[in-house]
Structure 1
Amino acid sequence: MAEETLAKPFADVSGAAVDITPLVWIITIAITIAFFVFEFYAHVRKPHEPSIGESARWSAFYIALALLFGVGIGLVSGWDYGGEYFAGYLTEKALSVDNLFVFLLVMTAFAVPKMYQQKVLMIGIVIALVMRGAFIAVGAALIANFSWVFYLFGALLLVLAYRQAFADHGGDPTDNRLMRFARRHLPLSDEYDGDRLFTVRGGRRLVTPMLLTIIAIGFVDLVFAVDSIPAIYGLTEEAYIVFTANAFALMGLRQLYFLIGGLLERMVYLGQGLAVILAFIGVKLLIHALHVNELPFINGGEPVKWLPEIPIWFSLLFIAATITVATVASLAKTRRDRARALERTQR
């Protein structure tokens, strides 16, 4: 059943079905892996801190590639699906930027040298893609077999929206049960040994802070996968769109980290903007759940048809507008705060 769901057909503009066959899935996954292998050998294998120019060029390349892919979906399968892809891509990209902020906190806490941060980011992004891929398959199977899962996803997103709105990004993401367990049970070295995960000191094999950093980032990836997959399933039920939107959102994330590293700390309202988006998608999911309702204790097990479905074009505009408002408001606030601080120092 999961394979049937993953191969769910698109409808093209003429109304014909276009199957996402296992071969298409294999080619898509192979190309995705090839991009990450290229990233490793072309940029990450030799430790260095990327320049702004290098980061800007590759960020623009991956964003352009993602946009072209979305246009291709629209032309081949219809603009309803194209709109779903773009809405999903925007949402996942925004969540990925929030993910980058926590990555920054983790690497600052572990004092990872800048020349080795590329490797940590690359491993973290690959872990994120693997985890999201697993959640996509599980989500597709659940949706195919249990219509009530939309209620679960919708409620989960409302809870996550509340937590996101009041999240304390200033907290220490390296101080949790997993990290405390690792510190207690692993033989640790206090010093880095290049970008190695293990080192030998006094004849003992020790774990370097690099491995602890990767463990912490893996845990962060798990938390963000729980946020992102229900969110995008609120915009599309097509597993192929869910996967490709996530893959393109993660591609170029390493370069984006170095490009907007200083800007991340100025995005003070990003969390609130994401909370609004998650809450909006949560409500959209609950409305859809009522439209396909089969639970006997809700409306006698019959669908609730009088509620209006939220069209994908409205979702796309709402998500884009929310991200824009959050970004502009964040930059305006930090600019005002800096101006006030400068005035105080000049008095």
Structure 2
Amino acid sequence: MLWLLTVLGIVGLLLFDFFFHVRKAHVPTLGEAARWTAIYVSIALLFGLGVTIFGGGQMGAEYFAGYVTEEALSVDNLFVFLLLLSSFKVPRADQQKVLLVGIAVSLVARTGFIFLGAALINSFAWVFYLFGLILLVTAGNLLREQRGDDDESPDNFVIRLARRVLRTSDDYDGDKLFTVQDGRRVLTPMILVMVAIGGTDILFALDSIPAIFGLTQNVYLVFTATAFSLLGLRQLYFLIDGLLDRLVYLSYGLAAILALIGVKLILHAMHENNVPFINDGEPIHTAEISTGLSLALIVGILLLTVVASLLSPKGRAQTYVAAARRHANEFLDIEKDPAYCDKIYHRLLSEEANIKALPEKYRARIRAERELMDLLHRAHEEHTERVAAGNCYTPAVARSDVSGA
């Protein structure tokens, strides 16, 4: 009965989200995104409080540790979602439906992974070693990616396969999945984006599911913590997408968390050891990391990571540049509505003003990015042409000269 009520509640929240928020395409305001993010986080916290009251402090700590970890990993996933939506040139008003469908597909797939992981753990104690190694390798990959090129477009086999199999039209038709082209009914790029979002998020599950099993082996807690972290992801995307580039140290924090859980899993595997070539198949009695200590460390690492990122001048520079690039691309190639284009252009001017206020060493680096400078120059020229043609809601405003800042 508990499982049935929980699943019905989650499905109800997804249906509510679809019919009352994303069915009619629109760009969510900051207030709307903040309000619904707060509601979904409150639901998750109240559920955790219920788990603590009826299941005890240990179960409550396991749920909250799992939820916080999955939510942190979800924020990291939003970076890739942002790149995907930008690379597919999805209009802002249509991004909500893409995200919701992708999240729903991911939730179904992750549920399958959860039950598979639980079955493996119950049958083979060595799976804890495997999960621990996966998390340690993932932590190392996060650190390597942080030192590498962060501006690469996401490209994995899910996206390549979808491009090859799904024949789509070249242009969007609102948020419709089908359109008529040359008298034939064809798929729009919207279906390709949904497959890319859902498939990419399924790949993320290969890291996040072992991580949460490192904090609790209770399948119900694993499922609910995962589900609640995904349910509010759409609202969270629109709330913090302007701050995503500011979190320059998030990958370091997530790497530390995954490494912590990986070590915790391996220590637990040693206690449960029955692998013949390790200690002759006998358990190894070592110290273990408690759930309470894990929760405290996870929260502490995240707080330190976020505060350090927000105070970092590098984070501010990266945020302003990424926002300016995104607004320029939206203004030039994606958005068609004159009213929203006008808003985007004024946001671009605001970001350019922020860039001019940065310390000189950051401005010098930005001026050296010729591709960015050319993009901003084209956006200003396009705005001037639209004003001359009467296609903007406001007259031309003073141009912000970033190249001379």
Q: TM-score, normalised by structure 2?
A: 0.77
More displaced stretch, 196-205 vs 161-170: 161-170
**Aligned letter for 1:183?**
R
Correspondence for 1:7: none
Correspondence for 1:214: 194
Correspondence for 1:319: 298
Correspondence for 1:258: 238
Correspondence for 1:128: 106
Correspondence for 1:79: 57
For structure 2, list consecutive stretches of 5 or more residues without a partner in the other structure.
319-354, 365-401
Correspondence for 1:332: 311
Q: Does 1:144 align with 2:127?
A: no
Deviation at 1:178, TM superposition (A): 3.6
Correspondence for 1:275: 255
SS at match of 1:172: coil
| Mapped contact 2:103–2:198 kept (Cα < 8 A) | no
SS at match of 2:66: helix
**Aligned letter for 1:179?**
I
Correspondence for 2:152: 171
SS at match of 1:34: helix
| Mapped contact 2:179–2:185 kept (Cα < 8 A) | yes
SS at match of 2:359: helix
Name which of 44, 49, 52 aligns with 1:66: 44
**Aligned letter for 1:243?**
F
| Mapped contact 2:158–2:200 kept (Cα < 8 A) | no
Deviation at 1:225, TM superposition (A): 0.7
Q: CA RMSD in A?
A: 1.7
| Mapped contact 1:131–1:221 kept (Cα < 8 A) | no
Q: Does 1:118 align with 2:96?
A: yes
Deviation at 1:186, TM superposition (A): 3.3
Distance 2:139 2:108 in 1: 24
Distance 2:114 2:258 in 1: 17
Name which of 74, 96, 102 aligns with 1:96: 74
| Mapped contact 2:70–2:229 kept (Cα < 8 A) | yes
Distance 1:336 1:126 in 2: 35
Structure (1 or 2) with the larger CA radius of gyration: 2
**Aligned letter for 2:133?**
A
For structure 1, list consecutive stretches of 5 or more residues without a partner in the other structure.
1-22
Name which of 98, 105, 111 aligns with 2:83: 105
**Aligned letter for 2:62?**
E
C-alpha spacing 1:132/1:178, structure 2 compared with 1 (3 Å): closer
Q: TM-score, normalised by structure 1?
A: 0.89
**Aligned letter for 2:234?**
R
Correspondence for 1:199: 179
| Mapped contact 2:162–2:196 kept (Cα < 8 A) | no
Distance 2:69 2:166 in 1: 37
Correspondence for 2:391: none
Percent identity over the alignment is 54
Distance 2:174 2:93 in 1: 9
| Mapped contact 1:102–1:169 kept (Cα < 8 A) | no
Correspondence for 2:131: 153
- 1:162-189 Cα distance to aligned partner (Å, 9 max, x none): 112222542211x333433433443321
Distance 1:49 1:72 in 2: 34
C-alpha spacing 1:40/1:324, structure 2 compared with 1 (3 Å): same
C-alpha spacing 1:207/1:336, structure 2 compared with 1 (3 Å): closer
Where relative contact order (Cα < 8 A, 6+ residues apart) is larger, the structure is 1
- 1:108-165 Cα distance to aligned partner (Å, 9 max, x none): 0011011101100101111121111111100111111111110110011111111122
Distance 1:336 1:50 in 2: 26
SS at match of 1:205: strand
More displaced stretch, 120-129 vs 199-208: 199-208
Q: Does 1:33 align with 2:14?
A: no
SS at match of 1:46: coil
Distance 2:265 2:131 in 1: 7
**Aligned letter for 1:163?**
N
